[in-house]
Amino acid sequence: MKSVLIIPTFNEAANIERFLTQVRTDAPNTEILVVDDNSPDGTAKIAESVAQRLGSIKVINRTSRRGYAPASRDAMLAAIESGYEVIATMDADFSHDPKVLTKLISLVNSDTALVIGSRYVPGGGVTNWPLFRRLLSKWGNLYTAFCLRLKIKDCTSGFRAYSATSLKNIDLDGLKADGYAFLSEMAFVISRKKLGSIVESPIVYVDRAFGESKMNTRIMRESMVLVTRWGFALRTGIGRKHLPR
Ligand SMILES: Nc1nc2c(ncn2[C@@H]2O[C@H](COP(=O)(O)OP(=O)(O)O)[C@@H](O)[C@H]2O)c(=O)[nH]1
Ligand SMILES: [Mg+2]
């Protein structure tokens, strides 16, 4: 199936060239769409020069409202428009192993809407993350799965492969999240709309060696608020208009 990898980037100048080169080596048949938010460190420029050298890489340089969610959404819409059948996503900081990409893509089929590279299924794991990030991720995932009634161990992993067919059935512009809550929101909407099964495949997550994490308290708060609001609406019917469609 014709596949594309979306890589959202913000200030990844220290990683992007090596990362794109590695992805091309490990997944030579997957085309790449870098979606950068006009990074002050010139990530988009570096990506563009790598694209000229390697080919089959497109760079979108966004100047509208910055964020993981709007960037991912714009890239997904562009990928659907271009006719890709499988749309994968990965971080640019080597936390996700490019060698696993082809496997995740291969698990997408007409019944499977979403394949999640999961840290919390047997065989998966996290290395060299500080204790605070480990606990935040683990408890955040338990809370999210409970609120949204998802049987998923890792709702917040950004290493994924979606079937384009399932994405076409989602009102991507109508989604609520700005930050990484986008990941839980996508799993939630796929499950609610019964767009296909969600499968988890183990990955070992490695903390970044270069550049800085963009996780911050605003993004954490947004996740807590949205997930709690959706869980409340599911159970009481109050605020149903906030549920993603
Ligand atoms: N386009 C875009 N990409 C972002 C933004 N924030 C984070 N990213 C990218 O999303 C991926 C994950 O972000 P990261 O900072 O590593 O988050 P962490 O792994 O949760 O600490 C990386 O490739 C980032 O460059 C953003 O506002 N816009
Ligand atoms: Mg990261």
Ligand nearest to the CA of 214: 1
Residue among 15, 200, 226, 69 nearest 123 (CA) = 200
pTM exceeding 0.75? yes
- pLDDT at residue 242 above 90? no
Query: Whole-angstrom distance between the N-terminal and C-terminal Cα of the chain?
Result: 27
d(CA 207, CA 119): 12
Taking only the tens place, the pLDDT of each residue in 157-189 is 999 999 999 999 999 999 999 999 999 999 999
- pLDDT at residue 245 above 90? no
The share of the chain scoring above pLDDT 90, in percent, equals 97
- At 228, give phi and psi (nearest 5°): -65, -45
For the chain, domain boundaries: 3-242
User: Per CATH, the architecture of 3-242 is what?
Assistant: Alpha-Beta Complex (3.90)
Burial of 206 (0-12, 13-18, 19+ CB in 10 A): middle
Characterise 67 by phi-psi region: left (phi > 0), alpha (psi -120 to 50), beta (else): left
Identify which has the larger pLDDT, 244 or 196: 196
- Strands (DSSP E) along the chain, which ranges? 3-9, 31-36, 57-61, 86-89, 112-118, 125-127, 160-163, 197-202, 204-206
d(CA 118, CA 151): 13
Nearest atom of ligand 1 to the alpha carbon of 35: 1
Mean of the pLDDT values across residues 121-126? 98
Q: What is the pLDDT of residue 140?
A: 96
d(CA 148, CA 244): 12
- pLDDT at residue 22 above 90? yes
Tokens of 224: 């807590």
Mean of the pLDDT values across residues 100-117? 98
Ligand nearest to the CA of 75: 1
Taking only the tens place, the pLDDT of each residue in 126-151 is 998 999 999 999 999 999 999 999 99
Q: What is the pLDDT of residue 244?
A: 87
Q: Is 68 in the pocket of ligand 1 (CB under 6 A)?
A: yes
d(CA 110, CA 79): 18
CB within 5 A of ion ligand 2: which residues? Answer: 91, 93, 95
Mean pLDDT over each residue of the chain, to the nearest integer: 97
